[in-house]
Amino acid sequence: MPVTKVLIANRGEIACRVIRTCREMGIPTVAVYSDVDRGALHVRMADEAYCIGPAPARESYLVVEKILNVAKQSGADAIHPGYGFLSENAEAAKLFEANGITFIGPRPESIVQMGSKTAARVVAIEAGCPVVPGIQETMSDEDLLLEAEKMGFPIMVKAAMGGGGKGMRLVKNAEELKTGLPRARGEALSSFGDDSVYIEKAIIQPRHIEIQIFGDQHGNYVYLWERECSVQRRHQKVIEEAPSPHVTPEMRAAMGEAALKVARAVNYVGAGTVEFLADADRNFYFLEMNTRLQVEHCVTEWITGLDLVKWQILVARGEKLPLTQSEIKLNGWAMECRIYAEDPDKNFMPSPGKISFLRTPSGPNVRDDSGVYEGSEVSMFYDPMISKLSTWGPTRLEAIDKMRTALGEYRIGGIRSNVAFHEVLMQHEPFRSGSLHTGMLDKPFWKKKEVGPNLKFAVAAAMVAELDDEERRASQPVGSGDGKPDAWKHWGKFNRL
C-alpha cells in the first residue's frame, strides 16, 4: 500500500516524533492543528499544515471527517494517528481505508477485538495466555457483588472499555464495592461513553510489565523485549524503563511468547503492546492490549537500536518485518521520565501557561522528545505533557544516574513542572534497588527531607550562583503555603517545578 505522504492526526511531541522519522525516510508530512495550536512545534516542523477547528479536541482532533478532508485536500495517502485521539478508533481506520488512505496502525477488526477489556480477556484465555482470575462478562451491580463474594476480596473493578486508570477501583470488602460501583460506572461513562465494568482478583503490590510486539501483513511476528511501567500515580504511568529489573531471561521468553499468542489470535499488524501484571513470584497475567504505539516506546528504541515509527511505516507499506526474533538484540538499560506542566505541591494540578524560559538536557545517551519550545503555550485543553526525557546506560544504575544528571540540567520558566519530583525519585532507595510496584507512589515520600549530597550541593550552588536576568525571573520562589522550609520545595525553586 502506498505511503508517500503522511498526515499526522495528532499534536505535541508524538506528532514531532513521527515527522522526524518521515523526514529521514524522505516522506513529506502534513500537520493538522486546532486554533490554539497554530504556533505549535509540530505545525512548524511539518511540510504542510491545516487548521481543523476550535481548541476542544471533540471539535478538531477527534472529528474524523475533518481529518479525512485534509488528507484529500493535501494529497496525503497515509495517516499516522500517534497515540490517543483516533489511534484506537476502528471506525476512523475503516473510513480512511475505504477512501484509499493507508491507516498506519492495526486492522480495524483487531482494534475492535482488543478494544473491550472483557472481550480481550476471552481472546487471551482462548489463546492460552494466563489471565488474572476474574469474570469476562459485564453484569448488574447485584450480580457483581455476588461474584465478588465468591471470588474473595480484595478485587479490582475496571471499566470494560478504555484504560488510563479511568473507572478503576481497588475494593477491599463488600461495603466498598457497593459504594464504589456507581462511581466506577459514572467515571467509565464520562470517559468512554460506556458504563460497563467487570471485576478481577486484585494482585497485591503488582508490577506492571508490558511486551512490545510487531506483526506484518505476511504473518511474521516478533517481540521487542519488555518495559517496566510500575511507577504510577493514580494508575497513570510516571516512569518507564527497559528492560525490567524483575524479569529473568526465562520469564522474558515466556512473556514474549504469551504476547505473540494474543497477537496471532487477532491477526495483528503493526506496533502493539501486550500488558501484564506480575507478582513477587514472577507469575504474570494478561491485563490488556494497546493497539497502537505507546508513549514509552522510546526506551524500547534505546535498548534495541530500532526506530519503531519507521517499522510502522514499512509494515503499512506491506513490507516484511526488517528483523527476525533471533536478530533482535537487547543492549543496556533505558529510563524515561514523563515531564509534565503540573505542580507537585498542589496535588499535581496542571500548570498551563506560556513557557518563558526553556533549557533542555543534552549530552551522550540523553534524549528529550518534546512538542514545545521557549515562548510556546502549554494549553489547558490538552494533556499537559512537556516532553519525555529518556536516558541510556550500560547498566540500570548508570541509566538512573544519567537521568538524575539530565534532570539537574532541565530548566523551565513561566510554568510549574514535575522535574524536581522526578529527581527525588531517582534517589529514592526502593526505586534504585528495583523494588517497584504500582502503589509505590501512594505515600508521598517525596515531600520528606530526602535530599542526597548531590542535590544539597546543587541547591547551595544555585543559591550563590550569578543567574542571568531571564533565569532569575523564571526561578522566583513560590510559597509552600505553610511558611515552613521543605528540602523538596526548596530544591524545586531552583529547578522550575
Count of Cβ atoms closer than 10 Å to residue 298 Cβ: 25
Scanning the structure block, which residue is given the C-alpha cell 536478530? 327
Long-range contact set of residues 187-192: C-beta below 8 Å, sequence gap at least 24: 187/159, 188/159, 188/160, 188/161, 188/162, 191/159, 191/162, 191/164, 191/166, 191/167, 192/159, 192/161, 192/162, 192/166, 192/167
Nearest Cα to Cα of residue 387 among 400, 396, 378, 375: 378
Catalytic annotation on 292? yes
Burial bucket for residue 31 (CB in 10 Å: 0-12, 13-18, 19+): buried
What value, to the nearest 5°, has the Cα angle with vertex 292 and ends 265 and 54?
140
* Three cell numbers, residue 38: 497554530
| Rg, Å, the chain Cα set | 23
- The catalytic residue among 292, 404, 411, 416 is 292
- Cis amide prior to 154 (ω within 30 degrees): yes
- CA 58/CA 63 separation, integer angstroms: 6
Q: What are the respective helix, strand and coil percentages of the chain, to the nearest 5?
A: 40, 25, 40
* Three cell numbers, residue 275: 500488558
Show Cβ contacts of residue 366 under 8 Å, excluding neighbours closer than 6 positions: 389, 390, 391, 402, 406
Q: What are the catalytic residues?
A: 292
